Amino acid sequence: MKQPILTRWLVMLGVLAWLVSCKPEADFRPLDTFFHYQRITEIAIDTTVQKDFIAGIDRIDVPLALLYAKDADGNRIDLPDHLVQYLWEEVPLPDNHFRFTERGTYAIRAKFGQVLSAPVTFRVHGHQDIKLRLSVDYQRAGQPYHGTYVADSLTTARFSIGAWIGNKPIQDRSGARLYVNDSPLPDTLFTTRHPGLYTFKVRWQSIESNAIVLDARSPVKRLVIDLGLDARYFYADGKTRLTVELTALDENDRPMRPTPDLTLTQNGVNIPSGSVLSTQEVRAFTFRATGYGLTNQQVTINSVRDETFRVVRLPVIFHVNTSAYPAFTEKKVADMLAQVTQIYRGQYGVERPRAFNSADAYVEFYAAETDPAGRPLPQKGIDAVPLPQRKYTYYKSEDMKVLTDEAWKYYWNPDYYLNVWVTQIEEGFSFAYFPAWSTNLEGTSSYTKPEQPNYTFGTFFNYDHTAGVLAHELGHNLALDHVFSGAGYELNGCSATDPDECDDTPYYDRTAYQASMGSNPYQRTACDGTHFISSNVMDYFHTYENSFTRDQRRRMRHTLDKAYWLPTRFNNPNAPNGRAGLRVPNGYIQKPSQTVNMKRAI
């Protein structure tokens, strides 16, 4: 039984194999299936395919397919796509693929027999149809940042590129390129150390996005070339050594640490910050700083030979209420004047920090030896006087009037003596009058000399003040103003013009100094941002008070040459070197009916 059954199965398999191998190329379906096709009344194209294309960018080759075919009753009928034609304007699409590459709108229909589908619209766009949008956000140290873009390489601009055809985002934006100032940018992150205006745009062939303009601000507000002093000269003596420091200040005028990329040149040659300058040649040195978009920072300093002058010696008489201030002795006077002389000769405190441009004023002071009647003074330099009050208050005008009236009683001819009235002045001040010039000087006017002095030219000295204060007040007598703007409690900040008419004395904001007086109270920050150690006699507060400068000397020398009421050759040609003669004509000055309010300083 087994054999015949097996044989029969083998025969059936052979027939089946023949049937399969002989399957015709045409669809092989039962006739009732074709009968079903004839019942089709509605066909629809599958619209889930990509229908928007960009010519030249997208590959345009879409196989078309039906979504469904239905009969009149709405029954779906499975209809193979190769039996369907796809038409554009009655023309069949080859291979049933959409492959148009010309810009345009294509309404495609499917056709089966007499049945037409609803049209499906395909669009082939040109580049001109692309819409590009560029946007940006900022990060600093990994955090979102909304402040000013700073060109310090720490602020990153992150660009986002959007591209649309109509309202539809284009997924593949690889054709879009980001440009900065017309140069391609390799990625969408931007950071720079170079300040300036940067214009960002996206381009995709001929299409451009909106522009984003980035104003990359310099992190450096200004560059300061610091020579230790804002002077324009130093001595060509081979000994004076300047340290040239370049500092970058940020928005808040704080030095930047670490110092960013900066270049410092000396006469066109690069030098490191901190270089030392010293020379025996007389010449100009120009330093220029560049970096972070700042290019015009320049300082010129000249090396100069110092001048020499004739020594002027000024006799000083102290009118002292000796019963009230017994400690104000001949020795004290001698010691103070010796120190004041050292200060004016540039010999005082030379071991301490001192302005490198300090100058010898060639002025000396000594205690008067005789009174106007020619009598030797019991104590050199001291005129013992009775004053009705022990104390006078500077900011009380009636006190000052009383004190001035007292001074008129004890006022020796100023052509022969420099007068110093000694008492106690409340508020802890000493004060002094400025001189009257026959020929004017910067910041002053010339003056016609009356018959006799019409103000108490000289110094009012607080009995317990130091020789440094005396040197300061005598500086006022010799035409020097404060190196800063203001006097006493008056705080004028950084004035628009140099307050003392001396270019070689830096000036500073006293309010800021007092607020930030730090570990080194001798340190100052000048109004131009440079730093210096205060050593000028005409400063206040912590100062080594061992320096005058050349410009200050120029004012003093002009005063010695041209001002009235000083014991100088100009006023007293018969007493060489200002020394008082034995008998002084008009030795005791009387208060005139008309006095003037001359400028005085504390």
In the complex, minimum distance from the CB of residue 454 to Zn ion, in angstroms, rounded to a whole number: 23
In the complex, minimum distance from the CB of residue 430 to Zn ion, in angstroms, rounded to a whole number: 8
Per-residue x/- mask for Zn ion, residues 543 to 582, rule CB under 5 A? ----------------------------------------
Piece of the chain touching Zn ion by CB under 5 A; list 241-249, 297-305, 323-331, 593-601:
593-601
Work out the angle between the directed axes of helices 467-477 and 330-344 (0-180°, nearest 10).
60
Pick the closer one to Zn ion by CB: 380 or 482.
482
Pick the closer one to Zn ion by CB: 234 or 457.
457
Structure tokens, 491:
């705080």
The Cα 56–Cα 275 span in angstroms is: 63
Pick the closer one to Zn ion by CB: 66 or 601.
601
The Cα 567–Cα 225 span in angstroms is: 43
- Which run of H or E residues covers position 407? helix 397-409
CB-based burial label for 483 (10 Å; 0-12, 13-18, 19+):
buried
Closest alpha carbon to 505 in 555, 541, 468: 555
End-to-end Cα separation, the chain, in angstroms: 144
In the complex, minimum distance from the CB of residue 472 to Zn ion, in angstroms, rounded to a whole number: 5
Pick the closer one to Zn ion by CB: 262 or 537.
537
Pick the closer one to Zn ion by CB: 224 or 487.
487
Pick the closer one to Zn ion by CB: 194 or 599.
599
Q: Would you tell me how many other CB atoms lie within 10 Å of the CB of residue 386? A: 11
CA distances from 559 to 482, 553, 556 (A): 16, 10, 5
Piece of the chain touching Zn ion by CB under 5 A; list 30-38, 169-177, 268-276, 594-602:
594-602
In the complex, minimum distance from the CB of residue 495 to Zn ion, in angstroms, rounded to a whole number: 16
- Backbone phi, then psi, for 398, in 5-degree steps? -65, -35
In the complex, minimum distance from the CB of residue 367 to Zn ion, in angstroms, rounded to a whole number: 23
In the complex, minimum distance from the CB of residue 353 to Zn ion, in angstroms, rounded to a whole number: 21
Pick the closer one to Zn ion by CB: 419 or 543.
543
The Cα 409–Cα 589 span in angstroms is: 8
- Binding residues for Zn ion, how many (CB under 5 A)? 1
Pairing mode, if any, of strands 85-88 and 91-92? antiparallel
In the complex, minimum distance from the CB of residue 181 to Zn ion, in angstroms, rounded to a whole number: 57
Pick the closer one to Zn ion by CB: 563 or 601.
601
In the complex, minimum distance from the CB of residue 429 to Zn ion, in angstroms, rounded to a whole number: 9
Pairing mode, if any, of strands 196-204 and 177-180? antiparallel
SS3 5: helix
The Cα 272–Cα 287 span in angstroms is: 11
Q: Which residue's Cβ lies closest to Zn ion?
A: 601
Closest alpha carbon to 165 in 50, 60, 52: 52
Rounded to 5°, the CA angle 115-121-127 comes to 155
Pairing mode, if any, of strands 418-426 and 312-320? parallel
Pairing mode, if any, of strands 418-426 and 391-393? parallel
Footprint (CB under 5 A) of Zn ion, residues 192-211: none
In the complex, minimum distance from the CB of residue 238 to Zn ion, in angstroms, rounded to a whole number: 35
Closest alpha carbon to 130 in 52, 188, 62: 52
Pick the closer one to Zn ion by CB: 273 or 404.
404
- What is the total residue count of the chain? 602
Pick the closer one to Zn ion by CB: 245 or 500.
500
- Backbone phi, then psi, for 122, in 5-degree steps? -105, 140
The Cα 356–Cα 361 span in angstroms is: 15
Structure tokens, 106:
């294509």
The Cα 141–Cα 483 span in angstroms is: 44
CB environment 300-316: b (16+ within 10 A), e (fewer): ebebbeeeeeeebbbbb
The Cα 132–Cα 21 span in angstroms is: 58
In the complex, minimum distance from the CB of residue 397 to Zn ion, in angstroms, rounded to a whole number: 19
Pick the closer one to Zn ion by CB: 317 or 601.
601
Pick the closer one to Zn ion by CB: 476 or 557.
476
Footprint (CB under 5 A) of Zn ion, residues 9-28: none
In the complex, minimum distance from the CB of residue 463 to Zn ion, in angstroms, rounded to a whole number: 18
In the complex, minimum distance from the CB of residue 516 to Zn ion, in angstroms, rounded to a whole number: 22
The Cα 133–Cα 146 span in angstroms is: 21
In the complex, minimum distance from the CB of residue 497 to Zn ion, in angstroms, rounded to a whole number: 18
**Does the footprint of Zn ion cover residue 601 (CB under 5 A)?**
yes
CB-based burial label for 325 (10 Å; 0-12, 13-18, 19+):
middle
In the complex, minimum distance from the CB of residue 482 to Zn ion, in angstroms, rounded to a whole number: 5
Pick the closer one to Zn ion by CB: 407 or 601.
601
In the complex, minimum distance from the CB of residue 476 to Zn ion, in angstroms, rounded to a whole number: 6
**Does the footprint of Zn ion cover residue 248 (CB under 5 A)?**
no
The Cα 127–Cα 125 span in angstroms is: 7
**Does the footprint of Zn ion cover residue 425 (CB under 5 A)?**
no
The Cα 355–Cα 234 span in angstroms is: 10
Pick the closer one to Zn ion by CB: 584 or 601.
601
Pairing mode, if any, of strands 294-304 and 284-291? antiparallel
Pick the closer one to Zn ion by CB: 479 or 601.
601
Binding site for Zn ion (CB under 5 A): 601
